[in-house]
Chain A
Amino acid sequence: MTTRWFGAPVQRVEDDRLLRGRGRFTDDFGDGALECCFVRSPYAHARIRSIDASAARAMPGVVAVYTAADLPFGGVDLPLLIPHPNLTHGRTQRCLASERVRYAGEAVAFVIAASRYVAEDAAELVEVDYEPLPVVITPEAALIAQHLVHDDVPGNVAAEMLQEVGDVDKAMREAAHRERLTFRYERAAASPMEGRAVWARWSPGDRKLTVYDSTQSPTSIRGGLAVLFGLPESNVEVIAPDVGGGFGPKIMLFYPDELLVPYAAMQLRRPVKWTEDRQEHFTAVNQERGQVHEVEVGFDGDGRVVALSDDFIHDGGAYTPYGIILPIISAAQLPGPYRIPNYRVRFRDLYTNATPTSPYRGAGRPHACFVMERTLDTIAAELHLDRIEVRRRNLIQASEFPYEVGVAWQDGNTVVYDSGDYPTLLEMAIANLGTKPAGDNVGMGIGIYVEGTGVGPYEGAHVQVLVSGKVVAATGIPSQGQAHATVWAQVVADELGVEVGDVEVTSGDTRRFPWGVGTFASRGAVTAGNAMHVAARMVADKAKLIAADHLEAAVEDLELVDGRVRVKGSPDRGIPLGAVAVLSNPVRYAFGGGTEAATQFAAKPREGPPLRDGEQPGLEATGYYSPPGSTWASGCHAAYVRVDPKTFRLEILKYVVVHDCGRVINPLVLQGQIEGGVAQGIGGAFYERLAYDDDGQLRNASFMEFLMPYATEIPPIEIDHIETPSPLNPLGVKGAGEAGVIPVGAVLASAIEDATGLKITEMPLSPLKLYELSMLRK
């Protein structure tokens, strides 16, 4: 293939309309639609004695109030995604709770009115009589199981899984040194700037349901709605228009509104829209990251790990709608870039009276990385060795790929690293970090990670050359800012020999591409990117086949350059791609110019029927890419920080990233992904904390008190790259979306410990937390 666009820092084609205020986010649609508001449980755990919506229903402007009793599916549990044999006690919530609520924010009633203002007023009039029940809010409390979240789930244990590679007990017995360590990571919130929103309309005449949803997976929403409402999939259209950030929680489905809004539109035969507000986003949208790890590590006198045993509990929240993917990822990714010859990991996924969990950027990895890196720092401290040297001695070497870790991966296979060069990442990061800044209270931190990206099962793409010569391309997975419209255009433009500006990409619209899975797990570039490559190459091959007839040349002598199919070495002998598109469709009624060549009365008619056996009209193709296994990206972050000894204010003096995601499609976009990821990691490590109290109330459910960093908190990030192409896909790419966030907690913990001498075993930190630790030390 040519490499004209691939690898170039192409400026984004989607920017113009977003900058002009012409973006199309879900709440930008639906003028005149009915608007909605939820009644949500104020209690983290309660029995519902009664619900009285009569006053709300009687309020002028209210069109309907739904409780579970009003819904044909009111008694149906919402889907459990990704079932797993170890998830022995999976539980999902109902669309609207009618007997029991298990987290503050769980939906109880749904008010539909002429305007959001009226709906919110009416929601206040819905009277729900609750009998509060004992609350289980921490994973530790869930494990003690003095109280149960679900009466029929003993010990609050949703799932348990034990894996072992090698012989841990033997290696641990024989190890020269052993340490037992406890690490605690709290829940966190993704907090995209756009909350969730759904707008639906129903056309009774043609029985067509159209849903706009700020989701990361419109294809799956479509599949689920078709089943629930008994419609053929072809009668359901789901569009994820511009989505204002996702970061994971929008891959969760179904949230109650994703059923209730379409249902209301069908029942009321009017367009219906619901737009979340920020406060409910804090409690009603899935969270992640709560885990407590009990580690035992055995190591030799040189600091080499000989055995690692980790027993961790995972705060699953009140339900398990997303299966047990998160603890599976944590268990699989904990060894990271290090050679751990004997590894045992057990997890228990526990129910708590808190918002359910599902992946948030990093998805199980930041906590796993934190545990591994903190463990290595402990080994270094015990043996009085340099932290960097301990890492050097434990890293998997570049010659060892493919490297089999041996534990279960989220795609059902076991973990096998496809390619990488971890020692080079480390050495480059150290070199780029440079010498330690002068002054007191300065510390250095370092963290290395691997990330399984590009998980299957597959994505597809449709590519078509129009008679104008312009190209349209579509894939099922939506963008939440990852520049799909630009990077797919680069991939397609290279195959078709056209300008990026000539390729218009649609992603996340089932009307344009109905198959696919979703945008998550740093998988877009690998799965949809390669599908685009496959489809575009099919179109290029078809163009050559058609042009060969027309140019009376052999297919293998043709090339696609500058929007034309031409004979290699004779650039004048060629035909524009648009004309090939005309020729691809034997026409009776001609439009678009150049069609005289394609009619049955053409000067040079082809032999045989206008469409030969196996031929299809149109210069278009649909291609799919299904990865044989995950591609394993990796990186090393290092930082210098200063911590004020009195106020414990954190100052990040320097932060460097060396990153490897295989071949880079667009370095500009990649830089943005990493910078954003690191910032999100810094927020999660030191500023943002979900402050749940003992009653399960989130006490800081607003941006006033949940301290997402502004520009003033985020330092410049210095980024460098290596490229170890993935051998698993034609483009050689690996995913990059989540990379930036993964090691930040580990790096800052290491640096803060170095700066302050305080032992850091938990996340998140804050000035207050450091102050408390310093008081404990005294």
Chain B
Amino acid sequence: MRVNGVERAAPDDTRRLLSDHLRHNLGLTGTHVGCEHGVCGCCTVLLDGAPVRSCLMLAVQAEGHDVTTIEGLARDGSALHPVQQAFHECHALQCGFCTPGFVMSVVGLLAQHPHPTEQEVDEGIAGNLCRCTGYASIRRAVTRAAELSR
């Protein structure tokens, strides 16, 4: 599999979840695990550009695919990705635990809907749980990200 553009080997252990593989084998700990049953969305990564739950996939299932994690959006030292920048400007994160999953979902959403309506925003982030923000600032961030991406 290619992870953030780099060819990486799959784990020997076929039981290994993609989320665990990313975090603990590849050291990409920006992908978080909040429920391990596919509801909270903290572990969202892009698989060939589309958001998926990395806790609901075995790592070996990602063989031959492109995986993008939060670390792959902006290189260290370079400017934030527009979605990351928008989350910062709009105070769309507090504890930051759900944030990578939200950011990846929004990257996926904006790829599909560059100018999302209010309803598309709500639906686009309705697969991710946040316990801190109450979502209002995240909604604002999605709108802002769409502006920044133009």
A residues whose Cβ falls under 8 Å from a Cβ of B: 11-12, 14-16, 18-23, 25, 27-28, 31, 116-117, 190-195, 242-245, 247, 277-278, 480-483, 668-669, 671-672, 675-680, 702-704, 708, 710-712, 714, 716-717, 740
Contact of B76 among A15, A18, A20, A677 (CB under 8 A): A20
Instruction: Give residues of chain B (82-115) contacting chain A, Cβ–Cβ below 8 Å.
Output: 84, 87-89, 91, 93-100, 103
- Which of chain B's residues have a CB closer than 8 A to the CB of A15? 87-88, 93, 96
A23 touching B30, Cβ below 8 Å: yes
Q: Which of A21, A675, A710 contacts B71 (CB 8 A)?
A: A21
**Is B127 among interface residues, defined by CB-CB distance under 8 A?**
yes
Write the B20-56 contact mask toward A (1 if CB under 8 angstroms, else 0): 1001100111111111110110100000000000000
Residue of B whose beta carbon sits closest to that of A672: B91
Instruction: Give the CA-CA distance A676 to B135 in the complex, in Å.
Output: 8
The answer on a CB contact under 8 Å between A28 and B29 is yes
Find A704's partner among B39, B69, B97, B122 (CB 8 Å cutoff).
B39
Least CB distance from B97 to A in Å reads 3
Whether A194 lies near B34 (C-beta < 8 A) is yes
List 8 A-B pairs, minimum CB-CB distance, nearest first.
A21-B30, A244-B97, A481-B95, A679-B134, A481-B94, A18-B96, A21-B70, A703-B39
- Structural contact, A676 and B134, CB atoms closer than 8 A: yes
Question: How far apart are the CA atoms of A116 and B16 in the complex, in Å?
Answer: 11
CB distance from A200 to the nearest CB of B (A): 18
Of the candidates A247, A677, A703, the one having the most CB atoms from chain B within 10 angstroms of its own CB is A703
Residue on B nearest A679 in the bound complex, by CB: B134
Contact between chains at A193 and B133 (CB < 8 Å): no
Could you tell me which residues of chain B, from 55 to 85, have a CB within 8 Å of some CB in chain A?
A: 69-71, 73-74, 76, 80, 84
Closest CB-CB distance, A721 to chain B, in whole Å?
A: 16
Q: Is B123 an interface residue (CB 8 A)?
A: yes
Determine which of A25, A676, A714, A740 lies in contact with B32 in the assembled complex, contact meaning CB atoms within 8 Å. A25
A379 to B29: give the CA distance in the assembly, Å. 55
Q: Does B15 sit at the interface, judged by CB under 8 A?
A: yes
Q: Are A12 and B88 in contact (CB under 8 A)?
A: yes
Q: B95: which A residues are within 8 A, CB to CB?
A: 192-194, 242-245, 480-481
5 residue pairs of the A-B complex, CB under 8 angstroms, read A19-B96, A21-B31, A193-B32, A676-B134, A714-B136
Contact check, A193 vs B71: say whether CB atoms are below 8 A apart: no
Q: Which residue of A lies closest to B78 (CB)?
A: A20
Distance of B134 from chain A, by nearest CB (Å): 3
Q: Is the CB of A710 within 8 A of B15?
A: no
- Chain B residues with CB under 8 Å of A12's CB are 88, 91
Among A679, A702, A714, contact of B35 (Cβ-Cβ < 8 Å): A702
Binding site for A on B (CB under 8 A): 13, 15-16, 20, 23-24, 27-37, 39-40, 42, 69-71, 73-74, 76, 80, 84, 87-89, 91, 93-100, 103, 121-123, 125-139
Q: Which residue of A lies closest to B42 (CB)?
A: A193
Query: Which has the most chain B C-beta neighbours within 10 Å: A19, A195, A679?
Result: A19
- The answer to whether A193 and B130 have CB atoms under 8 Å apart is yes
Q: Look across to chain B and name the residue whose beta carbon is closest to the beta carbon of A277.
A: B36
B134 touches A669 (CB 8 A): no
Contact B37 A278, beta carbon cutoff 8 Å: yes
> In the bound complex, what is the Cα–Cα distance between A704 and B39 (angstroms)?
7
Point out the residues of chain A lying under 8 angstroms from B135, CB to CB.
Answer: 675, 679, 710-711, 714
Partner of B29, one of A21, A192, A711: A21
Closest to B123 in A: A712
- Give the dominant DSSP class at B's interface: loop
Q: A21-B71, A711-B135 are in contact. Are A194 and B32 (CB under 8 A)?
A: yes
Selected from B34, B87, B94, B97, the residue in CB contact (under 8 A) with A676 is: B94
Please determine whether B89 and A11 come into contact, CB atoms closer than 8 angstroms. yes
Please, which residues of chain A bring their CB within 8 A of the CB of B94?
A: 245, 481-483, 672, 676
A18 to B16, CA, bound (A): 26
Report the nearest A residue to B104, measured CB to CB. Answer: A21
B121 contacts across to A, CB distance below 8 A: 711
Contact A702 B37 (CB under 8 A): yes
Name the residue of chain A whose CB is nearest to the CB of B125. Answer: A711
Known: A19-B80, A672-B133. A711 touches B138 (CB 8 A): yes
How many A-B pairs have beta carbons closer than 8 Å: the answer is 175
Q: Complex Cα distance A247/B132, Å? A: 9
Contacts of A247 in B (CB 8 A): 131
In the assembled complex, the Cα of A656 lies from the Cα of B81 at a distance in Å of 34
A18 and B126 contact, Cβ closer than 8 Å, known pairs A191-B131, A676-B134: no
Give the chain B neighbours of A25 by CB distance below 8 A.
Answer: 29, 32, 97
If the complex has contacts A31-B24, A704-B37, are A19 and B88 also in contact, measured as CB distance less than 8 A?
Answer: yes
Given the complex, which residues of B lie within 8 Å of A711, measured CB to CB? 121-122, 125-126, 135, 138-139
Interchain CB contact under 8 A, A20 and B71: yes
| Complex: A676 Cα to B98 Cα, angstroms | 14
Q: Given A11-B91, A672-B133, are A20 and B40 also a contact pair (CB < 8 Å)?
A: no
Cβ–Cβ < 8 Å partners of A675 in chain B = 133-137
Instruction: Assess the A710–B131 pair: CB atoms within 8 A.
Output: no
* Cβ–Cβ contact B27 & A31, under 8 A: yes
Closest B residue by C-beta to A706: B39
B8 → chain A closest CB, angstroms: 16
11 other contacts beyond A23-B30, A191-B131, A193-B42, with CB at 8 A cut-off?
A: A11-B88, A21-B29, A21-B69, A21-B71, A27-B23, A193-B98, A193-B130, A278-B35, A672-B137, A680-B134, A710-B129
A703: chain B residues at CB < 8 Å are 35, 37, 39-40, 129
Query: Which residues on the B side are within 8 Å of A717 (C-beta)?
Result: 134, 136
Minimum CB distance partner of B16 in chain A: A117
Most buried by A among B15, B28, B33: B33
Are the CB atoms of B30 and A194 closer together than 8 Å? no
Find the B residue at minimum CB distance from A32. Answer: B24
Residue ID in chain B nearest A673 by CB atoms: B94
Contact A19 B93 (CB under 8 A): yes
Residues of B within 8 A of A710 (CB): 125-129, 135
Q: Is B30 a contact of A193 with CB atoms below 8 Å?
A: no
Q: Are A21 and B97 in contact (CB under 8 A)?
A: no
Instruction: Name, among A12, A23, A242, A680, the residue most crowded by chain B CB atoms within 10 Å (CB to CB).
Output: A23
Across the two chains, which residue of chain A brings its CB closest to B97?
A244
Q: In the bound complex, do residue A117 and residue B34 qualify as a contact, i.e. CB atoms below 8 Å apart?
A: no
Which of A14, A20, A672, A740 is B84 in contact with, Cβ under 8 Å?
A20
Establish whether residues A245 and B131, one from each chain, have CB atoms under 8 Å apart when the complex forms. Answer: yes
CA gap between A740 and B73 in the complex, in Å: 34
- Do residues A22 and B125 form an inter-chain contact, with CB atoms below 8 A? no
Are A19 and B84 also in contact (CB < 8 A) when A194-B32, A278-B36, A675-B137 are? yes
* Minimum distance in angstroms from B148 CB to a CB of chain A: 13
Interchain nearest-CB distance for A676 vs B (Å): 4
Residues of A contacting B37 in the complex (Cβ-Cβ under 8 angstroms): 278, 702-704
Task: Kindly provide the distance from the CB of A125 to the nearest chain B CB, expressed in whole angstroms.
Answer: 17
| CB-nearest residue of chain A to B39 | A703
